[in-house]
Amino acid sequence: MHMTLNRPAALPLLRWPRSPAWLVPALFLAPAVLMLAVFLLYPLLSSFQLSLLDWNGLGEQGRFIGLGNWLHLLHDPLFWRALGNNAWLALFSIVIQLPLALALAVLLDKAGERSRWLKIIYFLPLLMSSVALGVLAKNLYDPNFGPINLLLQQLHLDGLAHDWLGDPAYALGAVIAVVCWQNVPFYMVLFLAGLASFPEDLSEAATLDGASEWTIFWRIKLPHLRGTVRTAVLLAIIGSLRYFDLVFVMTGGGPEHASELMATYMYRTVFSGFQLGYGSTIASAMFLVVTLIAALALRLSRRFQTEV
């Protein structure tokens, strides 16, 4: 006789409730969102709040004046002059920095491994502190003992020697020259990264078909760098609108506000003029201008990309 044993029924497995699909990405993004909220969103909202006050930053919080600071900003000639100087800086950053950076990147890419030390040398200006670079530039531009004027005098070109940082006609140009020299290496590295992803088979095939190096660059390599160029233009515009430290060390916005930028004007308004409310208005206006131009540039870039 065979006896059958009744086995106890298997217990059901315990299962955790299924989490929604968005939960895991949200947990990974939470620290970054928290950092942005604390160090970006909160100061930004505080700046807009302070722009509605008439306050010197000392003692109790000032009185509420609504849009008074904003109305004053619209009729402030110094702010519009600072905005114009930022626009000139952005224009020359695109016209000078990007072509020089692209030319250096093409030459260094063509040289290959032989240009390894040159890449390091060209990258050195970007590694320098902006404050140290500003002090160095002030010494170079010194009207009495600066190497630039001394060299011009040695070449019997005394008529070209100027008080570069003390003359309103030359101060902004002198500052722009130093800014471009400092930032060219950054865009050079950006273009080198773009050229590194270029397939050499296309270049070799074009060479076999009889194309010159200039034709290969203009017809093949440059279209390949179209996305990199758009990114570089956007970064140059945004960086120029937010520039502060180097200009502040070299000229402080002078002489006669000739090199005044929005950031230097905001700094002097708050810490020298003790107008925290109006300074916050300038800072908020800077944010709006940078955001608007960045959004417009991205929109134009996407439209151009779809058309191409």
How large is the average pLDDT for residues 140-158?
A: 89
- Neighbour tally for 254: CB within 10 Å: 16
Please tell me the CATH code under which domain 65-307 is placed.
1.10.3720.10
Residue 1 is predicted with a pLDDT of 47
Give the residue-averaged pLDDT of 54-62: 81
Question: 273, 134 in Cβ contact below 8 A?
Answer: no
Q: How far apart are CA 273 and CA 259, in angstroms?
A: 18
The pLDDT of 2-30, averaged and rounded, is 66
Domain range list for the chain: 65-307
3-state secondary structure of 149: helix
Q: What is the mean pLDDT of residues 113-138?
A: 84
CA–CA separation, 7 and 88 (whole Å): 87
Q: Report how far residue 32's alpha carbon sits from residue 30's, in angstroms, rounded to the nearest whole number.
A: 6
- Using pLDDT thresholds of 50, 70 and 90, give the confidence band for residue 281: very high
Mean pLDDT to the nearest integer, 84-90: 93
Q: Which residue has the tokens 């500052």?
A: 175
Confidence band, pLDDT 50/70/90 cuts, at residue 16? low
| Minimum mean pLDDT range among 186-195, 212-221, 290-299 | 212-221
> What is the reported pLDDT for 170?
92
| Closest by CA position to 189, among listed 89, 96, 120, 95 | 120
Report, as an integer, the average pLDDT of 111-137.
Answer: 83
CA 170, 171, 172, 178 dihedral sign is positive
Range in 86-90, 156-160, 175-179 with the lowest mean pLDDT: 156-160
Rounded to whole angstroms, the Cα distance separating 184 from 121 reads 12
Task: Name the more confident of 61 and 162.
Answer: 162
Give exposure, 42-52, as e/b (b: 16+ Cβ within 10 Å): eeeeebeebbb
Measured CA to CA, the distance from residue 182 to residue 125 in angstroms comes to 5
> According to the model, what pLDDT value does residue 178 have?
93
pLDDT, average across residues 72-77: 94
pLDDT above 90 coverage of the chain, percent: 40
Whether pLDDT at 174 is above 90: yes
In which residue are the tokens 């151009």 written?
A: 304
- Between residues 53 and 14, the one the model is more confident about: 53
Which percentage of the chain shows pLDDT scores above 70?
A: 92
pLDDT at 254 (0 to 100): 85
Sign of CA dihedral 63, 66, 67, 68: negative
Three-state DSSP class for 64? Answer: strand
Q: Which residue has the tokens 């002489």?
A: 255
Residue 164 has pLDDT above 60, yes or no: yes
State the Cα–Cα distance between residues 244 and 195, nearest whole angstrom. 31
- pLDDT-derived band at 95 (thresholds 50, 70, 90) equals very high
- Could you report the per-residue pLDDT of 257-276, keeping only the tens digit for each? 999 999 999 999 998 888 99
12 vs 83, residue with greater confidence: 83
